[in-house]
Structure 1
């Protein structure tokens, strides 16, 4: 019995060292060596200070900034600790009301804009943390941002075009615009 207990304790200590110390250190070391930016959160740094992550959206409501997708996280928007979708189905009146409210806010911020509102500006994603919008969502906001910044629409559109990332490998996903990177580029202009 004591030999069995000793073998069990030896295996417990050995597996704890392997899976609890050696493996995590090896994976962390490889990640830091091969993918340092991603391993550290894909941070966006401005003036030597992190201002956000390329992977988590931020909320903007000033007219001089591009606005991202709505976030369904609580207690505050874009809360990485509570990533989730709203779980509201397409026939749920709460979703319909939220979309109508968001459309109203977009129309109030830019009353002369009669373009159709892109769906990604009025619906949250499954994670509630999207840092990117579609080029159509960015195009919808160009006039408002240009007016608020005293820039021409073509200048702002050029910045949107420069901030647009194409499909991965040319065929996966859709083109997208990282809202934080675009807003930082506009602030630096």
Structure 2
């Protein structure tokens, strides 16, 4: 009986410590993260998230520049990962206008156009993926909703240069 009380107390202390440390890290680097979310910064090509990486036995080589980048393929959306860290280290927020791409430099700003209905959305690529065969980009839930994406749809991706992305 006594051991059960001690276990509960230790568990409560560990939970409290975890919550407090999470709050402290939430505010560190806020201005840099805000700039990244707006796409104001050029990609840091020496950052670990712009180095080659391996997933499911496949090595991916991020591009050194996204200038002039265009691609057509299938997009999907993700949202159950809410709160998890993106490849850039920021928390994934499903209601943000963000996306995951396997090789675009992080961060990059792109326009994603739904080729079925012509609707488009500008998103910040701040994560890696999708790693399902035949898909070229994963959109946050909010971005997918803006272009009417339900499930998987054919899209066009175009890189937005700094002049356009700051409008």
TM-score, normalization by structure 1: 0.29
Name whichever structure is richer in strand by fraction: 2
Higher RCO (Cα < 8 Å, 6 or more apart):
2
Instruction: Write 1 or 2 for the structure with the bigger share of helix.
Output: 1
TM value normalised by structure 2: 0.32
Task: Choose 1 or 2 for highest CA Rg.
Answer: 1
